[in-house]
Amino acid sequence: MGTSAHAKTSDLGGFSVSAVVPEHCDIASDALSIDPASGEARGTLTEFCNSSRGYHILASHRSLAANEKVEIDFNGQSVLLSASGQSPIAFRSGPRMSREPIAVRSENLNSDMSISLSLALY
């Protein structure tokens, strides 16, 4: 049998623990379903980022002609997509994890359109 060591109440000691957690950010959308009556695509967007620096949610898409209009509703805000093909959708000032509804509305599209969402650290 072994014996255990006991510290006296006057004995002092200490230790420290530290860890490095890598930054990890991701965004994903479920399959969007199109409402035949309105032509609006709806779904849910999941975002996760543990960076304390904050981040942007960006939409990448083809360039839009002057008569084309695409609007994204996300987290209580509506954003018109830029004609350039890169559109900021939201800014987050710190770490976040959420699932939010997303809707995409379009008018006068000249051709099919695909939208890719991504996160960019600030």
Q: Could you tell me which residues come within 8 angstroms of residue 47 by beta carbon, excluding any fewer than 6 positions away?
A: 26, 27, 57, 92, 96, 97, 98, 100, 119
pLDDT digit string, tens, across residues 75-96: 889 999 999 999 999 999 999 9
Mean pLDDT of 85-113: 92
pLDDT at 21: 87
Q: Report the C-alpha gap between 15 and 77 in whole angstroms.
A: 48
| CATH class of this structure's domain 25-121 | mainly beta
